[in-house]
Structure 1
């Protein structure tokens, strides 16, 4: 991972997609089959390893549908503009783990940890 990515604390598109695939317990070949071979396992591997940083919107749409995750989020992570051009400086991004199919217990533990982090300020 590049130091700028480490400094920002944000995962790359490739890291994010790899985490979703692994959470779903899918192999690269499983995804290739699930996409009707619209996304080859080799191409997905290159995305996940950050060799391809800006896949086409069509590829992102196929992956968002396959993984049942936000297309808009993938577009933003790939560097595509998804807003109507109006900035909303008061809006904050909220991290979500919804796409990771957390159990109620895992969700509770995350909320406890968040509370702990906030209490340290």
Structure 2
């Protein structure tokens, strides 16, 4: 994924979390998270991705694949099989569409507050 920073920001915002809240839950610095979301971090560490996957409720393998780490073919096939229920309803979506859906989810959740 070329600009995965937008994806990380959309994930965080769809959960209604601030950078500070993510920092507290993951023990990854606010500055690092900000740089990750702005695209200044070219290759985040697998440990950071693991912490974020747990916080955002996204599989570790998905985040590894998004940032360009090689994922074994067996895991890649499993990722396709384990798509979220939304993918079964709307079909295959692009990375840009996924970000837009996360942004819309953030909007919908903010209206409920």
Q: Which residue does the alignment assign to 1:47?
A: 36
Structure 1 residue 11 displacement after superposition: 6.3
Instruction: Tell me whether 1:29 sits opposite 2:20 in the alignment.
Output: yes
Instruction: Tell me whether 1:16 sits opposite 2:16 in the alignment.
Output: no
1:83-119 C-alpha deviation (Å, 9 max, x unpaired): 248x98xx8x93386x95x5xxx8xxxxxxxxxxxxx
Moved over 2 A (4+): 93-97
Q: Which residue does the alignment assign to 1:63?
A: 52
**Superposition map of 1:86-101 within 5 A:** 94-95=92-93, 100=102
Give aligned pairs, total.
87
TM-score after normalising by structure 2: 0.64
Q: Which residue does the alignment assign to 1:119?
A: none
For the aligned residue pairs, the C-alpha RMSD in angstroms reads 3.0
- Give the number of the structure whose alpha-carbon radius of gyration is greater: 1
Structure 1 residue 78 displacement after superposition: 1.1
Which of 1 and 2 has higher RCO (CA within 8 Å, sep 6+)?
A: 2
